[in-house]
A = this chain, B = another copy of it.
Amino acid sequence: MKVHISGFGPFGKEKTNPTARLIEDLDSYRIDGASLQLHLLPVTVQGIYDYATLLSGESLDEEILVIAFGLAGGRKGMTIERVAINCFDFSIPDNDGQNLIDTPIVPGGPDAYFSGLPIKRIQACWQRSGIPGSVSNTAGTYLCNGLFYLLRHYTRTSGARGGFIHVPYTGDIITDASEPTMSYADVLSAAKIAIEVAIQHPDDEVLPGGAIC
């Protein structure tokens, strides 16, 4: 199985992005039977369409899994996104200075796509590991949601599974406890848990024995 993992670079008023660090640190991460492809994406409209083009060119002969990570400042833990909507509506411009308001991501595309990841199972496995996390019902209307929509749209016919995970602020970004944070060590653990669970389980079905994780 080929597993595409992406993170974003810094944007807005932040100088770092924990999901960029994730991509760096996952370089040495090995999972039997899976080939991890790591992608650090710029926070630009162009960047996410380019990545979608790359994903859409994948061979249909291989099983593909796509997991995208992004930063969502203000959240109280890891959040796995339930749904991507066909709408760009930025509150700040992207890193190219482009500002899109009420613009479809894919003109004529469906209004939304649900995640293709086992979102409840991933949440349950985070919880079992003592990592705060929840399911989120909105990925916003910026590039995170845009990437999530595109990765679902351009892999919809190939059978690839995929979804999006939001990471909260880490302690190196918010040092004065003015916003909720999570330690980067927990973020890295949570990312590995999510990747492993998504590789092993295509959906949220209850496991033999009754548990979900």
Contact = CB atoms under 8 A, between A and B. Distances in A.
Given A83-B112, A102-B204, A114-B111, A76 B177 contact: yes
A186 to B, nearest CB: 6
Contacts of A53: none
A92 interface: no
Nearest to A128: B175
Q: Which of A75, A112, A131 has the most CB of B within 10 A?
A: A112
A176 B134 contact: yes
A141 to B, nearest CB: 6
B82 A83 contact: no
A154 to B, nearest CB: 16
A44 B112 CA distance: 26
B127 A176 contact: yes
Given A83-B111, A183-B185, A177 B137 contact: no
A110 B102 CA distance: 21
A131 B111 CA distance: 29
Interface string A73-115: 0011111001101110100000000000010000000111110
A51 B177 CA distance: 31
Contacts of A111: 83, 110-114
A37 B89 CA distance: 33
Contacts of A86: 114
Contacts of A89: 135
Contacts of A83: 85, 87, 111-112
A133 interface: yes
A171 interface: yes
A155 to B, nearest CB: 15
